[in-house]
Homo-oligomer: A and B are copies of this chain.
């Protein structure tokens, strides 16, 4: 059969499946889900409540069930697991790689974690899990799995193949065999391709590749991502400080890290403070959004206070008020553009990337080009529509100055935050907009004050 096994989760399917779950038709459900990819079952179960999901899950082979659980979104997963006993969770862990297992453990209350581990049948697995629990989840040690195929450099290929056979059940995906010495120190790797093509009595020592890239357990997840991306690796061995091989990170975990980081950066840029999703409750979403809104509000109130200093001027020349949004909006836009370019530059930077001074000079040049063009456009339009030369000069001068200042702020803020160890993406958000609003108002009223001589 030549079918492409992609499972279509259609409305029609759900209409048949739904009543079967309600009526607890075991056989129908078992048959329907036979051979379906766990990732698809996960998508399906996300449509049901925890109780129904648990019912369906218990009909499945624990091998499949454990894969289904691991594919669930983090918050759904930990909510879901509240409905399972420690024994039941331990059975799932028995069927999962240790990196996925520890991920589940990390979602459980701390008090429950050790209990679950003691219930894991496979003792080696239980040891792995205890080991992995020690690492923070944003370093190499927290991303790695303990399952991997290790070969001593003195072995023959045949011995290595026997080892793969022995381990085959425990290690889901084998990309390479890692070569170690008698003390477990990582020496290199052999690809499966090489093993297939070698003679059975060849020695590992003769064919392995010494140029293996590895990271140490404490390396930050961002560096893990960069390393795997730069060298196009699908698996990355992890060593301890003494060079002993302790685990491996696979590309699928890194993919998840990349996606999460990108989402986090975008949320930070949008002024959403914690990791929320559209599916969360109204209150959680509101709470995540309020802090930046309040900061923006305080900025706005400070702005109001500032403008009120010019109350008499505005009463005499109300036209001064007309261009307030123009000035603040341009400042905000320019600031966000600048900081985004700097933030992305920081993310991609090499050791020799431009010095801060060169960055500032370049940003200044760009600001002058854009500032001049915008100022000319505004001057032309204001002169044409109001024939008021003073206001045209005021607005265009202020606009030009705001573009320069906002560029400077947008450039320097992420650089400072980055140096302080804060995620610079936050600088492209409401932070810079609020600061630039105030700056823009100050410049505008200062220029107006000078030119009008009020």
Given contacts A263-B344, A337-B270, A366-B286, contact A297 B374 (CB under 8 A): yes
**A325 to B282 CA separation, bound complex (whole angstroms):** 27
Whether A196 sits at the interface, judged by CB under 8 Å, is yes
B164 x A197 contact (CB < 8 A): yes
- Contacting B at CB under 8 A, from A421-443, are 428, 430, 433-434, 437, 441
What is the size, in residues, of chain A's interface with B at 8 Å between Cβ atoms?
140
Q: Select one of B289, B311, B344, B441 contacting A278, CB under 8 A.
A: B344
Given contacts A186-B2, A351-B9, contact A341 B285 (CB under 8 A): yes
Among the stretches A24-32, A135-143, A313-321, the one at the interface with B is A313-321
- Chain B residues with CB under 8 Å of A259's CB are 229, 258
- Chain B residues with CB under 8 Å of A229's CB are 252, 255-256, 259
- Contacting B at CB under 8 A, from A397-452, are 428, 430, 433-434, 437, 441
Which residue from chain B places its CB closest to the CB of A316 in the assembled complex?
B315
A334 x B293 contact (CB < 8 A): yes
Among the stretches A39-47, A103-111, A112-120, the one at the interface with B is A39-47
B326 x A301 contact (CB < 8 A): yes
Query: C-beta contact mask, A275-308 vs B, less than 8 Å → 1, else 0?
Result: 0111100110110011011101101110111011
Given contacts A278-B345, A341-B277, contact A293 B174 (CB under 8 A): no
Given contacts A231-B39, A329-B434, A337-B271, contact A351 B10 (CB under 8 A): yes
- Chain B residues with CB under 8 Å of A294's CB are 374, 377
Whether A336 sits at the interface, judged by CB under 8 Å, is yes
Q: Select one of B35, B333, B441 contacting A325, CB under 8 A.
A: B441
A324 x B325 contact (CB < 8 A): yes
Q: Assuming A39-B232, A270-B336, A301-B382, what are 6 further A-B pairs, CB within 8 angstroms?
A: A2-B185, A39-B231, A229-B256, A271-B337, A272-B340, A321-B324
Q: Could you list some 18 contacts between A and B, CB below 8 A?
A: A2-B186, A2-B243, A5-B210, A173-B191, A175-B175, A192-B196, A229-B259, A262-B265, A266-B428, A271-B336, A271-B337, A286-B369, A296-B333, A301-B381, A315-B318, A321-B321, A324-B324, A325-B328
The 9 closest A-B pairs by CB, nearest first: A300-B326, A278-B345, A262-B262, A321-B321, A270-B340, A304-B322, A314-B318, A192-B192, A232-B252
